[in-house]
Amino acid sequence: MNVPIKSTLDPEQQRITGDALRASVVDLIDLSLIAKQAHWNVLGTHFRSVHLALDELVSAAREFTDSAAERATAIGVSPDGRAATVAKEAAGLEFPDGWQQDTEVINAIVDNLTTVIRRFRERIAATEKADPVTQDLFIEIAARLEQLHWMWQAQLSTA
């Protein structure tokens, strides 16, 4: 890989941090596309609430995609967020084809958030030594995703 942007990290720190950021970009684009897909295809009496809540998730995912990708560039690593890359390197997020019942949508979003959060928790641990600046970004992302995780779970839970 050509590295025209000088990093203030040493090569090993840069490799660990760069890998975590590139994978984050892929996860977050995947999450944003799934949330948009659900936004359009949801059906049921909770349509309006779920439709609106999904756009908040899209906004969060898009904003964090940009933060992660620009953090990668800041440490001299080129991010890759093209459709083929996302399709190939996607890590298990899933959403079915066609119209979906609102309760199914909620379940799917909770599951996908659980997966993504788990991976960000790992990245927080992985970058603690390598780059506290990037770790701070991962903490911010996890905090927001966990807040959304609660809100989506709360729609299915019983007291």
Q: Render the burial of 10-22: b for 16+ CB within 10 Å, e for the rest.
A: eeebbebbbbbbb
| DSSP H/E element including 101 | strand 100-101
53 binds a copy of itself (CB under 8 A): yes
5-24 residues in contact with a copy of itself (CB under 8 A) are: 5-6, 8
Q: Using the rule CB under 8 A, is 129 a contact of a copy of itself?
A: no
- Give yes or no for residue 122 binding a copy of itself (CB under 8 A): no
Among 19, 23, 37, 126, binds a copy of itself (CB under 8 A): 37
Site membership for a copy of itself, residue 52 (CB under 8 A) = yes
Shortest separation between residue 134's beta carbon and a copy of itself, angstroms: 8
Contacts of 107 (CB under 8 A, 6+ apart): 156
Q: Which amino acid is at 3?
A: V
Looking at the DSSP bridge assignments, the partners of residue 43 are 101
Give whichever of 23 and 41 is closer to a copy of itself, judged by the CB atom. 41
| Residue 101: strand pairing partners | 43
Q: How far is the CB of 86 from a copy of itself (least distance, A)?
A: 4
